[in-house]
């Protein structure tokens, strides 16, 4: 890949950063465009210049991702969102291939049994920080970056109510999230009178530094192993929270507001059956025989 392409990408990514795109989005976009550039140069035998990209190239790349690489519809669609953005930054407004349609299932959360198994694993270790961390994630639906950024000043913990402030959510959106009694109780025990600094510290009770998103992932991995889960993605807590709220009868508007969604369409996906829901429904046919 030419140095020109790398510099091109850096300027584009910096432009997106100034537009308040998250670092996770920047990484995903960069990866998708890099893969397109590598494919283009391998296929056409020369360095990619944005003005040389044609609609035919884009259609062929879509076929390559779907047929040769067997990528999922969501991966293919994200790739072309990133490519379109990059080309537009470089002054090329091309007709993109149509999105790949798919029947979407609700994101997979933890069912009640799995939630209990996880909480038992955390409580068995008797680490107040970890109990507070996992309980908060299950009961607020915060993104991992939002949890890592929490300061004690962001918390209001009363006897009958409480809330926390997400000061820099996705898209730089500020929001207030209520915290229930279970979460207030474990936070109160963990903080133990501490009144300033990060909520979650890096070395449990002895640390003074902030627990980073990477550190939170390590904590989650530890308890996923103890609870005998094959894997547990941090975003699963957000999915679990959303599904739990909807099952209590809360409306989409309420759930969207708490999660910080800009569009109800984003929240509506949680009303769809999950893959496990569909598997359970089909399995009932066997039970009748």
Please spell the DSSP secondary structure of 142-201, one letter per residue: --HHHHHT-BGGGEEE-SS-EEEEESS-GGG--EEEE--HHHHHHHHHHHTT--SSBSSB
The low-confidence residues of the chain, meaning pLDDT below 50, are 3-4
- Residue tagged active-site, from 235, 243, 247, 288: 235
pLDDT, position 147? 96
Q: Quick check: is 143 catalytic?
A: yes
Residue 135 and residue 180 in contact, taking contact as beta carbons nearer than 8 Å = no
First to last CA, the chain: 59
- Residue tagged active-site, from 143, 184, 239, 243: 143
Instruction: Note the CATH number of domain 3-89.
Output: 1.10.150.130
Q: Quick check: is 235 catalytic?
A: yes
What is the residue extent of each domain of the chain? 3-89, 112-274
- Residue tagged active-site, from 71, 170, 184, 243: 170
Neighbouring CB atoms inside 10 A of 204's CB total 14
Q: Report the CATH superfamily, name and number, of domain 112-274.
A: Intergrase catalytic core (1.10.443.10)
Q: Quick check: is 61 catalytic?
A: no
Gap between the Cα atoms of 212 and 201, Å rounded: 9
- Residue tagged active-site, from 29, 190, 223, 270: 270
pLDDT, position 195? 92
- Residue tagged active-site, from 32, 184, 239, 261: 261
The tokens describing 188, both together, are 């109160």
pLDDT, position 3? 47
- Residue tagged active-site, from 32, 62, 184, 238: 238
Q: Is 210 helix (H, G, I), strand (E, B) or coil?
A: strand
Find the helix or strand (DSSP H, E) in which 41 lies. helix 23-44
Q: CA–CA distance from 23 to each of 32, 75, 203 (Å)? A: 14, 18, 25
pTM: 0.65
Can you name the residues that pair with 198 across neighbouring β-strands?
Answer: 151
């Amino acid at each position: 890949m030419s140095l020109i392409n790398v510099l091109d990408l850096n300027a584009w990514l910096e432009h997106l950063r100034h537009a308040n795109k998250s670092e996770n989005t920047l990484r995903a976009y960069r990866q998708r465009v890099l893969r397109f550039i590598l494919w283009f140069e391998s296929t056409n035998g020369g360095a990619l210049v944005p003005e040389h990209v044609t609609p035919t190239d884009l259609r062929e790349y879509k076929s390559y991702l779907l047929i040769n690489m067997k990528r999922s519809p969501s991966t293919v669609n994200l790739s072309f969102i990133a490519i379109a953005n990059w080309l537009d930054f470089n002054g090329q407004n091309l007709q993109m291939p149509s999105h790949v349609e798919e029947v979407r299932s609700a994101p997979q959360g933890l069912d009640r049994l799995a939630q209990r198994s996880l909480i038992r694993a955390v409580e068995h270790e008797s680490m107040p920080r970890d109990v507070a961390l996992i309980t908060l994630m299950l009961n607020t639906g915060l993104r991992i970056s939002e949890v890592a950024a929490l300061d004690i000043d962001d918390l209001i913990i009363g006897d009958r109510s409480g809330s926390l402030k997400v000061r820099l959510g996705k898209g730089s959106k500020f929001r207030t999230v209520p915290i229930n009694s279970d979460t207030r109780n474990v936070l109160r025990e963990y903080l133990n009178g501490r009144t300033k600094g990060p909520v979650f510290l890096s070395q449990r009770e002895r640390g003074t530094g902030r627990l980073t998103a990477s550190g939170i992932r390590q904590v989650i991995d530890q308890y996923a192993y103890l609870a005998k889960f094959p894997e547990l993605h941090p975003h699963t807590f957000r999915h679990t929270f959303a599904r739990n709220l909807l099952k209590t009868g809360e409306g989409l508007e309420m759930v969207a507001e708490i999660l910080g969604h800009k569009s109800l369409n984003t929240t509506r996906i949680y009303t769809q059956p999950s893959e496990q829901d569909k598997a359970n429904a089909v399995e009932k046919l066997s039970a009748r025989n």
